[in-house]
Structure 1
């Protein structure tokens, strides 16, 4: 999910910091940097961007990508260590979806089955499935911390959050953050 410019900035910083011992053109200042991730997951989020903007922001689009040595894990350790058949089936289905090998309908949508996931028809059913008996379990921190609903669009997140909050009794407190620079009356020192 990281923007390619973050890794490129790290590259320039390491080159700068190690300029006294390495040639300035060495990638990452001549240091070995380990990057780990799954490139089949979420692309960088670009506000008001198009899918093309997200692809351009991906690390694979960086000038550094051809200098990366790629390794792929081939063993699902959860399945291997615990012999978890359900985890194996789930992982295999995810790979089939990613590889485009799973059956689709006439519109090109993947057909998910109940043995792969719990299918729901609407937000209310989803909330009830994930947060069963929310009203009575609201004070159970451990229970709430173990669950989450992920959604691909902010409008879905906002709707689900509103639906959940409407079920919660009590006073609502809103905490706002500041996302602009604040001027200060004292000097700020930056150390590099």
Structure 2
């Protein structure tokens, strides 16, 4: 998988189609035949998440990448619903108010 990701980064995989890159994902990286692929993805990337969520190193070594913000938001919402306690939202600004 690492070689495939490096090939993508170097532009060796896929071709252009209407100014968009088309990349074929190998079958062994696909989540097929699943009733809940997002949960399966979370379980794969973050095994034993409830036992490790307080360990910052656990998250530094893992990531789920998604092509669109709405997919990212859906995955984040699913992850946040798994953790005990209330959600906290912290706002920031790039300029002085």
Same fold per TM (> 0.5)? yes
TM-score when normalising by structure 1: 0.38
- Residues of 2 paired with 1:91 and 1:172: CA distance? 34
Q: 1:158 to 1:180 in 2, by over 3 A?
A: same
What is the aligned residue count?
A: 85
Per-residue CA deviations over 1:110-164 (Å, capped at 9, x if unaligned) read: 35221xx3x2252111111100111111112111111111111000000000000
Structure 1 portions without partners, runs of 5+ = 1-85, 101-107, 183-192
Larger radius of gyration: 1
Task: Specify which of 124, 127, 132 is matched with residue 42 of structure 2.
Answer: 127
> Is residue 170 from structure 1 mapped to residue 63 from structure 2 by the alignment?
no
CA RMSD, 1 decimal? 2.8
Superposed, 1:126-145 pairs within 5 Å as 126-145=41-60
Greater fraction of residues in strand: 2
- Residues of 2 paired with 1:109 and 1:99: CA distance? 7
- Residues of 2 paired with 1:91 and 1:176: CA distance? 33
Q: Which residue of 2 aligns with 1:112?
A: 26
Per-residue CA deviations over 1:61-91 (Å, capped at 9, x if unaligned) read: xxxxxxxxxxxxxxxxxxxxxxxxx755x36
> Is residue 146 from structure 1 mapped to residue 87 from structure 2 by the alignment?
no
